[in-house]
């Protein structure tokens, strides 16, 4: 399971990195072409979509590397058993919350697909981006479950 999650996170980071390069290229192209009177149409929409996808794809990696916000000032003063109990409770709460979020995002994507909802300028369907976001959150849930399993094994 550990190898699978690390590989999945690596693939997500690679995809997110490629999309980030695409975002930077699009921004540079838009700035350059705007000087000649030919701005890239729909840049704002594309940047929003790509930003959301990059965020979703980076959730699992940032959690795995513990590069997210973590407030330890309060818990560092407690004994190890209280810290471990708090971490387990936190994992259960996160599993519940993010599972619900992933499920609701998936349902929203299905609804948007069925009603053929598209963006205003470029007429791009919303649902693929929401599905990717749902997938990124689901990977985060898998990481929480795996960590919880590891904590119970110790």
End-to-end CA distance of the chain: 17
pLDDT band (50, 70, 90) for residue 68: low
- Residue 26: burial class (beta carbons within 10 Å; 0-12, 13-18, 19+): middle
pLDDT digits (tens, 9 = 90+) for 91-129: 899 999 999 999 999 999 999 999 999 988 899 999 999
Q: What is the pLDDT of residue 69?
A: 65
Report DSSP state, residue 69.
-
Q: Residue 119: which region, alpha, beta or left (left: phi > 0; alpha: psi -120 to 50)?
A: beta
Q: Write down the pTM of the prediction.
A: 0.86
* C-beta separation of 63 from 90 below 8 A: no
């Amino acid at each position: 399971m550990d190898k699978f999650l690390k590989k999945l996170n690596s693939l997500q980071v690679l995809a997110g990195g490629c999309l980030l390069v695409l975002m930077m290229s699009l921004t540079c192209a838009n700035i350059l072409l705007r000087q000649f009177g030919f701005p890239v149409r729909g840049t704002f929409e594309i940047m929003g979509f790509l930003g959301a996808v990059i965020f979703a794809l980076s959730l699992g990696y940032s959690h795995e590397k513990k590069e997210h916000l973590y407030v330890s000032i309060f818990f560092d003063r407690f004994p190890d058993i209280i810290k471990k109990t708090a971490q387990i409770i936190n994992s259960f709460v996160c599993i519940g919350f993010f599972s619900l979020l992933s499920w609701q995002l998936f349902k929203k994507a299905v609804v948007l697909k069925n009603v053929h909802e598209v963006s205003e300028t470029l007429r791009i369907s919303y649902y693929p981006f929401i599905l990717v976001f749902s997938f990124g959150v689901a990977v985060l849930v898998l990481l929480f479950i795996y960590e919880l399993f590891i904590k119970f094994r110790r």
